[in-house]
Amino acid sequence: MWTDMAKTSQGVPRAARLAGAVAVLGLLTACGGGDGTASPPQKVAGTAAPATEGRTTASAAPADPTPSPVPSGSAAPPTTSPTAEDSPTAVSTRCHTSELRASVGRNDPGAGQWNFPVVLTNASDRTCTVRGYPGAAFLDASGKQLGPDPRRSADTPVTVTLAPGKSAWAGLSFSNPEVSGARAATPKSLLVTPPDERDPLKVAWTAGRVPVSGNASSVFLTVFAAGTAP
């Protein structure tokens, strides 16, 4: 009996020690191998618990349709620059063909030259201006141009202001064809175009023959000056 009790008392501590060793070994296996490497994850039977109310999922905030105000001190949004159509149109003071009357003054010959003043008179009720050279062309009875276009003298254009009824003149000069020997013809009229205009004015030509080709056949024009003659 004592022998059996002794065996039993000795066996209990041994069994307890064996169970403890097994438990420690299980903890080491769960924490990792003895070499420091992690053990592969273990499957656990059962279902996952639902998410708790305290956990939220990140999502994009809804777009705000109202634009944010410009912060104080920052640059304001750019504005559209005004276009040429938005700018007021400058009023032109140029004399138009419809406001003028043309005429040819008396010949002022000198040194084999014939010199005629071509006169533009303001026939409107407003003040306007002329500046530069007139256009000019001699025409025959059928309206065909005689000779080339006149050439311009080396003058400096000035702006001439014409009140209603006032005039400006430009010189029309050429060599006397009777002296120069140039081929000549007798025009029926002279077309005069005001500066920067397209529509001409027709003036009857009564001053005789003009050079139309050959030597010394050039006709010259000067710029407008105030008045009706030099």
pLDDT tens, residue by residue, 54-96: 333 333 444 444 444 444 443 444 434 444 334 444 567 999 9
> β-strands 219-221, 151-152: how paired?
parallel
**Cα–Cα distance list, 65 to 62, 68, 71, 78, 167 (Å):** 9, 9, 18, 21, 69
pLDDT attached to residue 90: 53
Q: Please give the distance of CA 223 from its chain centroid, rounded to a whole number.
A: 35
pLDDT attached to residue 228: 96
pLDDT beneath 50: ranges in the chain: 1-12, 14-39, 41-89
Fold observed for domain 97-226: Immunoglobulin-like (2.60.40)
Residue written as token pair 């592969």: 40
pLDDT attached to residue 181: 87
Token pair recorded at residue 57? 């999922």
Token pair recorded at residue 37? 């490497």
